[in-house]
Structure 1
Amino acid sequence: MINMPRKARQKTENAIFHIMARSISEVDLFKDDEDKNSYLYFVKKYQKLYLFKVYAYCLMDNHVHIMIDANGSDISKVMHGINSSYVRYFNKKHKRHGHLFQDRFKSKMVSDERYLRALSLYIHNNPTDIQDYKDNPEKYYFSSLGVYLGLRKDAFELIKCRFLMSFFGDTQKKARKNYIKLIFKYNNKKIEEEIDFENEETEYRSGRTTLIRNFRAEDIIEFIAQKLNIVEVKLYMKNRRELVEAKAIIVLLMRSLCNYKCTDICSVLGNLSQVRVSELSSIGIRLMDNKKYKDIVKEFIECYSI
């Protein structure tokens, strides 16, 4: 039997993506509401790191749909971080081990306005497959539809509504009215006829601004040294336990804003192995929950954007 190589994932930092991930057949991706909330927590956590934008989502029991604007980030790194974090959480909670997701996640680039509109309706129409929400998908909590229609607050502050709704009306009221009419007019079989989910086209930009991730590693080190009141040269020293947090945040910022790989970070700091860089990256992700660091990426951008 010949093993065919995987098709290379088509991606660009300027694209909007339809992301779909599904669990293996014998296990539901989400066993309860706590699991779904935890998944959204990880989406938000990595959004703070990579500053991508979420335009729509829907979490079903065995799969998830998300529309993500990469905003200059690498979509593979984004989804690997979210999904691997969720798998660790899920396996620990449910006392299991091994794979949870069915192969790698699927990603399709949005090619034009028609695709964008239809895709948002497709994602938000998913709850109609659940008997209790067949006639009222807007009441399904783990979909962003209720946020778009102003029926509930965005608990995780994930969604950017204005961009998407601008395609459905020139005022918020008109856009919401038109949107809910379309949700009930089409079922997902009809919506699928509007878009070709197998066709990966060029990215859709439509005047969006994108974060250019060409920041300098030296500026990141200087920023952290000043913020944490550390002599800069010490950040290049090895085995300084008191500097673990500082180095973890530096690694995190280099990943987010320089799109550096482990080998690149090793070259800059000069005294770290790739294994240690990976460990520091994990520490940095955890530190994002700390009030001291929760806005660190945005703070750096405000200081060093030209």
Structure 2
Amino acid sequence: MARPLRIEYADAVYYVTSRGSARADIFLTEADRQAFLDILASVVEKYNWLCHAYCLLDNRYHLIVETPHPNLSLGMRQLNGVYTQTFNRAHQRSGHVFQGRYKAILAEKGSRLLEFCRYVVKLPVQVGLVAKPEEWRWSSYTNTAWGVKVPAYLTVDWVLDQFAERRTTARQRYCQFVAEGLAGPVRPEKKPFSHIFLGSDAFAAGMRKYLEARQGMRNIPRAQRYPGRPPLSRLFTDIQAENRLQRNMRISEAHITYGYTLQEIADALNLHYSTVSKIAAAKRNK
């Protein structure tokens, strides 16, 4: 079975979800949930993501994330990979935690995305875990609705800006918006192509053209898949040979932000692949 298509570009927004292998629980304790959020925080910081909403259930999680750089796959690999290691170590087990790859739906910023932000935070009520969304600790609802202790990995501004400029008014309207959603269907009505992206008809048309252009993408040179990215020679042109800290930061930038492979970076710097791989791994694990 072919892997689902991944569409990545600067400032893309996604609804992301991943469930447990064989639908088993991926969170057994509160410590598991906190560990996941800690890892999410590190991913958001490292890859410069914006997380607009999230919810951790028992056997799956849901995120609404925006990627200023085309790096969703890189971040998700770290999020699910590091959590798998953490979960297995905590519970003295081995093997897969998640069922296959994550699911990501490309979204247009607008009313449809706002519906999915609501969908994410109302899930604990609609699956019977709690009676009210504010009773569930492991979602972005209370941070967005009340503005109390908003963690660094969560961005509430875009959601609240959809309701009013004044934050008090915006939060009141947000709470009303979520309450109204609880009376409706569990999930927003799907439109054509909703398994790949969601948004307006114009957005859908643009994405169809994008997908058509991507046919045969494997035959297109990697440099052309990231239009506007600087060549490696420019990224490393002002690096002093003895300044390893600066060099290592540029290696991370080339790999994470611009999508260069570790082998391409190694060749450009006349370094061994394993050296570049260790540098990149050290940056990911910080």
Do both share a fold (TM > 0.5)? Answer: yes
**What TM-score range do you get, normalising by the shorter chain?**
0.7 to 0.9
Q: CA deviation at 1:93?
A: 1.4
Which residue in the other structure is 1:281 paired with? 280
**Mapping of residues 148-187 of structure 1, within 5 Å:** 148-150=144-146, 152-155=148-151, 157-187=152-182
Q: Unaligned 5+ residue runs, structure 1?
A: 205-211, 226-231, 236-242, 289-306
Aligned length: 259
**Mapping of residues 87-106 of structure 1, within 5 Å:** 87-106=84-103
Local SS of the residue matching 1:48: helix
Which residue in the other structure is 1:263 paired with? 263
Q: CA deviation at 1:250?
A: 4.0
**Inter-CA distance 93–191: structure 2 relative to 1 (3 Å threshold):** closer
After TM superposition, the score normalised by the length of structure 1 is 0.75
The letter of the residue matching 1:279 is K
**Mapping of residues 68-217 of structure 1, within 5 Å:** 68-129=65-126, 131=128, 133-134=130-131, 136-150=132-146, 152-155=148-151, 157-187=152-182, 190=185, 192-196=187-191, 197-198=194-195, 200-201=197-198, 214=229, 217=232
Which residue in the other structure is 1:54 paired with? 51
- Preserved contact between residue 15 and residue 110 of structure 1 (Cα < 8 Å): yes
For residues 138-186 of structure 1, what are the alpha-carbon distances to aligned partners after superposition, in whole Å with 9 as ceiling and x for unaligned?
232211111111253124x111111121112232122111111121222
For residues 87-131 of structure 1, what are the alpha-carbon distances to aligned partners after superposition, in whole Å with 9 as ceiling and x for unaligned?
111111111111111110000011351211101110110121464
- Preserved contact between residue 17 and residue 62 of structure 2 (Cα < 8 Å): yes
**Inter-CA distance 260–37: structure 2 relative to 1 (3 Å threshold):** same
Q: CA deviation at 1:10?
A: 3.0
Q: Residues of 2 paired with 1:172 and 1:8: CA distance?
A: 38
For residues 52-74 of structure 1, what are the alpha-carbon distances to aligned partners after superposition, in whole Å with 9 as ceiling and x for unaligned?
11111111111010000011232
Q: Residues of 1 paired with 2:79 and 2:183: CA distance?
A: 27
Which residue in the other structure is 2:13 paired with? 16
Q: Residues of 2 paired with 1:32 and 1:264: CA distance?
A: 42
- Preserved contact between residue 13 and residue 67 of structure 2 (Cα < 8 Å): yes
The letter of the residue matching 1:233 is A
Q: Residues of 1 paired with 2:187 and 2:110: CA distance?
A: 15
State the identity %: 19
After TM superposition, the score normalised by the length of structure 2 is 0.80
Q: Residues of 1 paired with 2:109 and 2:249: CA distance?
A: 37
The letter of the residue matching 1:7 is P
Q: Unaligned 5+ residue runs, structure 2?
A: 204-226
Which residue in the other structure is 2:241 paired with? 233
Q: Residues of 2 paired with 1:257 and 1:26: CA distance?
A: 33
CA RMSD of aligned residues (A): 2.7
- Preserved contact between residue 13 and residue 109 of structure 2 (Cα < 8 Å): no
Q: Residues of 2 paired with 1:175 and 1:38: CA distance?
A: 31
Local SS of the residue matching 1:81: helix
The letter of the residue matching 2:52 is Y
Local SS of the residue matching 2:54: strand
Local SS of the residue matching 2:53: strand
Q: Residues of 1 paired with 2:183 and 2:20: CA distance?
A: 21
For residues 232-252 of structure 1, what are the alpha-carbon distances to aligned partners after superposition, in whole Å with 9 as ceiling and x for unaligned?
2246xxxxxxx5x66654432
2:32 to 27, 31, 35: 35
The letter of the residue matching 1:187 is L
Which residue in the other structure is 1:299 paired with? none
